[in-house]
Structure 1
Amino acid sequence: MKALVAVKRVIDYNVKVRVKADQSDVDLSNTKMSINPFCEIAVEEAVRLKEAGVINEIVVVSIGDKSCQEQIRAALALGGDRGIQVECATAPSALDVARILANIQQQEQADLLLLGKQAIDSDNNQTGQMLAALLNCPQATCASAVKIEGNQALVTREVDGGLLTVSMPLPAVITTDLRLNEPRFAALPKIMQAKRKPLAVQNLAELGITLTDDVKLLAVNAPAERQGGSKVASVDELIDKLRNEAKVI
């Protein structure tokens, strides 16, 4: 059984994001980049399934310029077997990412497709659902538990009323949530071994894909800074401020 895991290169979640002066995008100069945390959870789940004898091969795929090979190698150090980089000079939309992954799936014929539920930079939570639609295969989003029984996947997700468990045939698309697992740290020998694992590079022309321009980035703005609070001397003063200044009552 083969697992295809998608990973995305994003700003490390510990780094404070800076916006360019012209508000055209986020400033990435001299910024630490990492695997998207939800994608890292997907890699960890694939590795755990491999350790349990369910999966035989883990293929890690990422879309971007040569710099995204760093995140592919990091995923290989965690337990992936081989990597695929799809060269892309610009940031593709969620639909384009799904189209690219669908094309890769046609080549790989993986039994299980694991993605993070969303990326911490765009926060779309769309790619997994679009990918399942393009492949016409079952999907389970925001997984908090995954179990494979024969040719069936049992996926548990948290809902307002508790836990919902669904069963679906493979191949299937599963997007991972925070409660699914806690990713491991890669040991130094694993990092060195990852440098020797195969990593293929493909371009959009080879895949027969042309990026769309359906989504355009208009501007990026930093969140407004919170204003300092103030103390009031009485309840009456508090009510007055809430009514006349905050206008919430």
Structure 2
Amino acid sequence: MDIVVLVKQVPDSGLERNLNAEKRVDRDGSNNVMGELDEYAVEAALQLKEQHDGTVTVLTVGPDQATETIRKVLAMGADQAVHVSDEAVAGSDALATAQILAAALGRANWDLVLAGAESTDSGMGVMTHLLSAHTGAAALTGARKIEIDGSTVTVEHQKDNGYSKLQAQLPAIVSVWDTINTPRYPSLKGIMAAKRKKIEVLSLSDLGVDASAVGAAGASTEVLTVESRPERSAGTIVTDEGEGGRSLAEFLASEKFI
């Protein structure tokens, strides 16, 4: 089984994140990491490889520094990597990114594509369906469990009140939540081996993608204005002088909590 796992380098969600002059997420800092949910997709891919043999290829779209994230996935156990790196990609929205990823997938042999359910920088959660539209492969989202039986993939789709089962024929594209597994840490042996693994770097021209159709100029959406999150203000104190419960209820109702 040949698996492609999608990863994205994003600013660390535990630290302060900023926008640059173009109103886009500032990715030039040193606090960039692999997207949190992507790690669970990587672990799911590695476990499926261990169960069914085959290969795991990591695919990312990003600037040169995204190689750091690629190396981590290779150290975890992925076999090879494809890195789409082109200055014209900057500012691409989800539609353009899906076009680029689909072009890269079109160059590879794959049975299954795995991805995190959403990225921690934009949180849109649409890439699985967009790639399904481009490739014709089935989309199965929000998986907390994945099983492969021959050419059939079955997932438990996580819901607020339980789960539902989704099933499709391979090839398929599956997104996962953090309930699916516990990602492994790269071992020293894996880190050393990662240095020898192949990273194929591709430009838009290599993929046959028109640069004018992606990037900020080709985006279907635009950020018009931004503003900083307001400082946390002092809370409202309800003094209980016999009517504390009523006062609290009135406050909650005024804020539409009840």
How does the TM-score come out when normalised to structure 1?
Answer: 0.90
Tell me which residue corresponds to 1:72: 70
Provide the secondary structure at the position in 1 that maps to 2:5. strand
Which residue of the partner structure matches residue 233 of structure 1?
A: 240
Question: Which piece of structure 1 moves more, 159-168 or 176-185?
Answer: 159-168
Describe how 1:44-123 pairs up with structure 2 within 5 A: 44-52=43-51, 54-89=52-87, 90-123=90-123
Identity %: 28
Q: Deviations 1:182-231 (Å, cap 9, x if unpaired)? A: 11111122112111100011101121213122122333433333322224
**SS of match in other structure, 1:122:** coil
Deviations 1:101-128 (A, max 9, x none): 2112211120001111110000110111
Within 1, Cα distance between the matches of 2:84 and 2:74?
16
How far 1:146 moved relative to its partner? 0.3
CA distance in 2, matches of 1:129, 1:111: 16
Moved more, 180-189 or 156-165: 156-165
CA distance in 2, matches of 1:167, 1:79: 27
Question: 2:250 and 2:28 mapped to 1: Cα distance?
Answer: 45
In structure 2, give the amino acid aligned to 1:79. G
Classify the secondary structure of the residue corresponding to 1:142. strand
Match of 1:216 in 2: 222
Distance 2:181 2:248 in 1: 46
Aligned partner of 1:34 in structure 2 is: 33
Q: 1:32-89: per-residue Cα shift (whole Å, max 9, x none)? A: 111101111111111111122x141111111011111111111111111011110132
The answer to whether the Cα contact below 8 Å between 2:5 and 2:59 also exists between their aligned partners in 1 is yes
CA contact (8 A) 2:24 2:91 kept: no
Residues 1:7 and 2:7 are matched in the alignment: yes
Root-mean-square deviation (CA, aligned residues, Å) is: 2.3
Query: After the TM superposition, which segments of 4 or more aligned residues of structure 1 sit over 6 Å from their partners?
Result: none
Matched, 1:179 2:185: no
The structural deviation recorded for 1:237 is: 6.1
Tell me the equivalent position of 2:149.
149
Alignment size in residue pairs:
247
- Mapped partners of 1:27, 1:138: distance in 2: 34
SS at structure 1 position matched to 2:205: helix
Determine whether 1:204 maps to 2:204: yes
Q: Give the partner amino acid of 1:80.
A: A
Name the CA shift for 1:25/1:104 in 2 (closer, same or farther; >3 Å): closer
